[in-house]
Structure 1
């Protein structure tokens, strides 16, 4: 596509540029800046803005300043492709995005074809790297087969004598995570009593909750996002179903508790080790908090994605894609997530997943 047309498309999809100097190095973050998952878009935006601010304050990349472009895909696959094309047209050198796997997977094909490095901070579906369209696609988060293994084994260990239901929202992320969790649960010798899909975006899950009650379910695993999971949990409590809820990393937002209130007490979820607790991140965490931003969830993952790219560009003494990708493939990068490397699939070699539990409006590591 011609750049002029793509830049016009930027306005249609709500993309904005922080700063106006097109001569500087443009990078982007793209995710759900609007829509029901906008809390995660806000996390990504906060992480990206702080990363750009800190890198520029330290002299930029090879003597040039970074400028940040924000892309809004609303976690919609078609919109993600349009946003990807638009970012390419604007001349961005890298994209810290997207958030939803269902967006990152189709968008990655655009970036691979057009020679733009993508480093997702949050897309966990294995297909993102297993079916990698080119060698310039990376992620700094884990994978659902890793997350599902932890979740499935935990369920089998802690709730083997309970009636377990597994729900999914039919999305690339939710269904993929539910399938991986079920696989490892079944391999451990435990069979779920109910496997059920639901439709994301609905408000009334009464019929679903009734099925859970009729099956005598005591533990509900949700492969999906906090918005629907929180509503399902509230409606479970309203109908007198006192089952434990468990999910994955999409519950890692304070908005979950805003939806559930006290009904969220005791909810379990898997997520990577909390980067806010890393000594390497302490100064940056403090800086976020001074600004009134809690760097929860994927704030620091987005920061780290940009950090790793910037360090690779410095090592390459260039922001050209081939040179930077070569450094990303061979280098080790000190980030707010700790020291990280990428394997030959573009997956990160960081520690895997651990269990968390919600208590009194906050989440922290699960204590048995």
Structure 2
């Protein structure tokens, strides 16, 4: 829900700003919300509902597990989707022409993390844990691939179950395997518990993760045990000239400029750019073609360009870390 709220806030703020300036092709933009509850079945029914309402363009879905089945519904019905947050490679690897994202892919961000470990922590004992989901396991497997290719084999590859509150068996195993580094593929609730429960049993293991650890809830759950936790996220959008207007609009609306909020804001801007270039708010195929033209579109996350499969060819990941409850650059 935390991520869904960030996406909703970002998209709504972008729509408000666009409407203030005359809308898209002279028409005001209407934002309709559909809740998939993070559940694939609910996501498919939400997708069908939007199709029934005659929606042509979608910002979302939020999670990869929902985005993959929902994208099939959208593809069959000529709906173009731009997800700000679904990072599973499988989403764009299936040859659908209607799928775009304003975030990078898990294999890209896991590779950045693995290269950091290989460059700086090669002699450490490394464990890999995931949460069994499309996002988490995707991250873990991509991290493992790059790590192993660099000549390092993990001491443990294991999984936890989301929602599980007691990770005692897992943390004990990590401690007995003398893990120095735990790469975690998953989201902030489990990551927060993991850092806290590792610290509680006296483990010195450092946790590294993906952008699922970028939410402020991570610190609320992990507290001081989260100090120094490193994660990959989209390179700091707020350093881009193009993001200034978005940052100001969000500030005026009292909304924190968090990564997923900016990605959602950018998703709306991408749709606007594509519709204007295609000259049609109805023909999603023409809009998809316009977005893949190679043009760079200015957005809240900087200038974006798209490849044939709807993945960003402009996106880069950087390393960040938690320090005193705030996110700072790790390098």
* TM value normalised by structure 2: 0.97
> Does 2:242 match 1:280?
yes
> Does 2:72 match 1:104?
no
Instruction: Please tell me whether the aligned partners of residues 39 and 66 of structure 2 are also in contact (alpha carbons under 8 angstroms).
Output: yes
> Does 2:229 match 1:267?
yes
The correspondence for 1:206, drawn from 168, 177, 190, is 168
> Does 2:197 match 1:197?
no
2:54 aligns with: 91
Give the distance between the partners of 2:225 and 2:86, measured in 1 at CA: 28
Aligned pairs (5 A) from 1:313-328: 313-320=275-282, 321-328=284-291
- The superposition leaves residues 340-364 of structure 1 with CA deviations (integer Å, 9 ceiling, x where unpaired) of 1111111111132111111011112
Q: Report the alpha carbon displacement of residue 116 of structure 1 after superposing the two structures with TM.
A: 0.4
Helix, strand or coil: the match of 1:118?
strand
1:343 aligns with: 307
Gap runs ≥5 in structure 1: 1-37
CA RMSD of aligned residues (A): 1.2
2:217 aligns with: 255
Aligned pairs (5 A) from 1:59-208: 59-132=22-95, 134-208=96-170
Aligned pairs (5 A) from 1:284-299: 284-299=246-261
Helix, strand or coil: the match of 2:30?
strand
2:266 aligns with: 304
Q: How many residues align?
A: 329
* TM value normalised by structure 1: 0.87
Runs of 4+ displaced beyond 4 Å: none
Higher relative contact order (CA 8 A, sep 6+): 2
Q: Report the alpha carbon displacement of residue 290 of structure 1 after superposing the two structures with TM.
A: 2.9
Instruction: Please tell me whether the aligned partners of residues 99 and 122 of structure 1 are also in contact (alpha carbons under 8 angstroms).
Output: yes
Instruction: Please tell me whether the aligned partners of residues 304 and 315 of structure 2 are also in contact (alpha carbons under 8 angstroms).
Output: no
Aligned pairs (5 A) from 1:344-363: 344-363=308-327
Instruction: Please tell me whether the aligned partners of residues 276 and 296 of structure 1 are also in contact (alpha carbons under 8 angstroms).
Output: no
Helix, strand or coil: the match of 1:326?
helix
Q: Report the alpha carbon displacement of residue 307 of structure 1 after superposing the two structures with TM.
A: 0.5
Gap runs ≥5 in structure 2: none
Helix, strand or coil: the match of 1:222?
strand
Give the distance between the partners of 1:53 and 1:336, measured in 2 at CA: 14
Once the two structures are overlaid, the 10-residue window that deviates more, 197-206 or 329-338, is 329-338
- The superposition leaves residues 164-187 of structure 1 with CA deviations (integer Å, 9 ceiling, x where unpaired) of 110011111100110000110111
The correspondence for 1:228, drawn from 190, 211, 215, is 190
Helix, strand or coil: the match of 1:293?
coil
- The superposition leaves residues 102-122 of structure 1 with CA deviations (integer Å, 9 ceiling, x where unpaired) of 111111000000110011111
- The superposition leaves residues 311-355 of structure 1 with CA deviations (integer Å, 9 ceiling, x where unpaired) of 111122211212222211214311111211111111111132111
